Amino acid sequence: MIWTGPRRDAALLVVTLLVGTTAVGHASIRTGEGGDSHSPLCSPRAAILQTLLPTQSEQVTESSSDAVVESLARALSDGKTEKAHDLLVQILKRPHLTSDFLLRVGIQFAQRELYGEAGEAFQRCIQEHPEIFEAYYNLALADIAGQKWDEALAIVERAPQESRAEVLACSYLRGKVEDSQGKTREAERDLSDAFAGAPQNPTYAMDLGLFYIHERAYLQAATVFERAAGLNSRSSFLLLGLSLSRFLAGQHEQSIATLKKLLSMQPDFAPAQVLMTFVLSAQGKLEDAEKVARQGLNSTRASPYLYYLDASILVKLQSRQYKRIFEELSIAQSKISSCSLCYFTGSKAHQAQGNFEAAIADLEIATRLDPTFPEAWYRLASLYRRVGRSADASRAQDQFQELKANKEGREIQMLRENFLQTLDAVQPAQ
């Protein structure tokens, strides 16, 4: 981690990937005497989950504090938020709490995205133990999660920065705040400083890489991910970030090479299967894309996006496997919230079958699910015209003209956003 010091705890964190129906990513925090133990994460929640670790500096009433933390954890896991809150109030009334205990309390709340309560625990830790850097760091992350930018920056400024690691951590936090505030130049500077100072830190790499992807500076993103992946060769998410940025930069062949490496390490890694399928599809290698998708769909943890992609590719291939196409779309529709693209693709399949009424019905659903879906309005206008519904065609055409399809297209937008969410939410494996 960014500061040295003994750790006593290890946490196994489960990160739910947005690409995938089940939790597929596991990240553990290393512990070790005098070694870097963990890294801040790229998303506030994940960062807190990973960094909120109790220190070993105080040993007061360890067994009782363990019991309190366990009660707190139980209440939170049972969804008894009020009870957990009452417990926090009781805890904070007690004098002379150890930093270890307070940080662990904060973790429990942060794990449930209760950043306000987490912040109270960290604030108290700072009051009682102003020398503990972790408290400042975690409070800043909690403030970032609560979009309290000024407060987060103020905490960072107050944090003791006695080691280079702590200086880098503060730079990283500043960068995150600046990024959230849209101060891109400052964010790039501070995130870059943190990464340059500790390129082996996958969290710094992930945040800087994602910053560049958000800024559509894909080559810079690829450079960051490539360097970090070189220092963390088993990190699936750094490799995923690398392949995504290479794809977005137009380096399709390099992206495919990275994905092949990633899939050889983790054949069932759903995000990699989805991205590989999409890259091949975007290259026009539809048969190859379909093959990868089919392999991925054999996995029990296949992403619903893979079902959508496979159906979409089959339609592009003019496949007549309509039963399969509709079954895959049905699975995708059931698992992807408001999947207007699923109905859009279903409409194409129905149209290919000559079933214009069904094709229209699909598009009517798609436009109901997403009234700002220009592609659907465009095709709907064309179909209405084809079946002689001129007035409906005019209305759909007007909707289309009003919205106008983006150059990029819904599919790539959906997948790009989806991957960014995936990577935003994930902790690099260490």
Partner 1 sequence: MFWCLLLAFSTSVIWPTATIAPQGFSATPPSVHFVDIAARAGLTARTEDGGERTKKYIIETTGSGAAFFDYDNDGSPDIFLVNGTTLEGFRKDTAPTSHLYHNNRDGTFTDVTQKAHVALVGWGQGVCTGDYDNDGWVDLFITFWGHNVLLHNNGDGTFIDITRKSGLWHDDLRWSTGCAFVDYDRDGRLDLFVSQYIDFDPAKTPIPGQSSFCRWKGIPVMCGPRGLKGTRNQLYHNNGDGTFSDASDKSGVARAGPYYCFTALAGDFDNDGWPDIYVACDSTPSILFHNNHDGTFSEIGARAGVAYNEDGHEQAGMGADAADYDGDGWLDIIKTNFSDQTASLYRNNQDGTFTDATYEAGLGGNTQFLGWGTLFVDIDNDGWPDLFMANGHVYPELDRKAMGSTFRERKLLYWNRHDGKFKDISLNAGPGITKPFNSHGVAAADFDNDGMVELLVNNSHDPPSLLKNYDKHGNWVLVKLVGTKSNRDAIGAQVRVWTGGHQQLQEVRSGGGYISQSDFRLHFGLGSATKIDVLEIRWPSGLLEKLEDLPPNQIVSVKEGTGIVKH
- Return phi, psi of residue 55, to 5°: -90, 170
- Among 249, 262, 272, 359, the residue binding partner 1 under the rule CB under 8 A is 249
Round to whole Å and give the CA distance between 155 and 335: 41
CB 316 within 8 A of CB 286: yes
Rounded alpha-carbon distances, angstroms, from residue 382 to 235, 358, 388: 47, 14, 10
Beta-bridge partners for 28: 12
Q: Work out how close the CB of 284 gets to partner 1 at its nearest, in angstroms, rounded to a whole number.
A: 3
Q: Work out how close the CB of 277 gets to partner 1 at its nearest, in angstroms, rounded to a whole number.
A: 15
State the burial class of residue 79 (Cβ atoms within 10 Å of its Cβ: 0-12, 13-18, 19+): exposed
Q: Work out how close the CB of 319 gets to partner 1 at its nearest, in angstroms, rounded to a whole number.
A: 11
Q: Work out how close the CB of 249 gets to partner 1 at its nearest, in angstroms, rounded to a whole number.
A: 5
Binding to partner 1 in span 109-148, by CB under 8 A: none
- Among 124, 271, 379, 427, the residue binding partner 1 under the rule CB under 8 A is 379
Binding to partner 1 in span 28-87, by CB under 8 A: none
Round to whole Å and give the CA distance between 187 and 173: 9
Round to whole Å and give the CA distance between 382 and 370: 18
- Which range touches partner 1 (CB under 8 A), out of 101-109, 124-132, 227-235, 394-402? 394-402
- Which range touches partner 1 (CB under 8 A), out of 64-72, 77-85, 102-110, 405-413? 405-413
Helical segments of 129-183, H only: 133-145, 149-158, 164-180
Q: Assess 397 for contact with partner 1 (CB under 8 A).
A: yes
- Among 216, 234, 260, 320, the residue binding partner 1 under the rule CB under 8 A is 216
CB 373 within 8 A of CB 413: no
- Which range touches partner 1 (CB under 8 A), out of 25-33, 52-60, 358-366, 376-384? 376-384
Give the residue with the Cβ less far from partner 1, 49 or 249: 249
Q: Assess 318 for contact with partner 1 (CB under 8 A).
A: yes
Q: Assess 251 for contact with partner 1 (CB under 8 A).
A: yes
Round to whole Å and give the CA distance between 374 and 126: 52
- Among 62, 253, 402, 417, the residue binding partner 1 under the rule CB under 8 A is 253
Q: Assess 330 for contact with partner 1 (CB under 8 A).
A: no
- Which range touches partner 1 (CB under 8 A), out of 48-56, 87-95, 353-361, 395-403? 395-403
- Among 377, 384, 415, 424, the residue binding partner 1 under the rule CB under 8 A is 377
Residue-wise burial string across 306-335, b where 16 or more C-beta atoms lie within 10 A, e elsewhere: bbbbbbbbbbeeebeebeebbebbebbbeb
Give the residue with the Cβ less far from partner 1, 155 or 248: 248
Q: Assess 217 for contact with partner 1 (CB under 8 A).
A: yes
- Three-point CA angle 117, 166, 201, nearest 5°: 95
Round to whole Å and give the CA distance between 426 and 362: 34
- Among 196, 409, 413, 417, the residue binding partner 1 under the rule CB under 8 A is 409
Rounded alpha-carbon distances, angstroms, from residue 330 to 59, 326, 379, 407: 56, 6, 21, 28
- Give the per-residue contact string, 268-297, with partner 1 (x = CB under 8 A; - = no): --------------xxxxx-----------
Q: Assess 406 for contact with partner 1 (CB under 8 A).
A: yes
Round to whole Å and give the CA distance between 374 and 340: 11
Amino acid at 58: E
Q: Assess 367 for contact with partner 1 (CB under 8 A).
A: no
Round to whole Å and give the CA distance between 172 and 170: 5
Cα-Cα-Cα-Cα dihedral sign, residues 92, 37, 163, 233? negative
Give the residue with the Cβ less far from partner 1, 274 or 341: 341
Q: Work out how close the CB of 405 gets to partner 1 at its nearest, in angstroms, rounded to a whole number.
A: 4
- Among 212, 225, 269, 384, the residue binding partner 1 under the rule CB under 8 A is 212
Rounded alpha-carbon distances, angstroms, from residue 44 to 88, 111, 198, 408, 412: 21, 11, 20, 29, 26
Query: Which residue, 43, 55, 178, 174, is CA-closest to 126?
Result: 55
Q: Assess 218 for contact with partner 1 (CB under 8 A).
A: yes
Q: Assess 316 for contact with partner 1 (CB under 8 A).
A: yes
Size of residue set near partner 1 by CB under 8 A: 39
Q: Assess 163 for contact with partner 1 (CB under 8 A).
A: no
Interacting residues toward partner 1 by CB under 8 A: 212, 215-221, 248-254, 282-286, 316-318, 374-375, 377-379, 382, 385, 397, 400-401, 404-407, 409-410
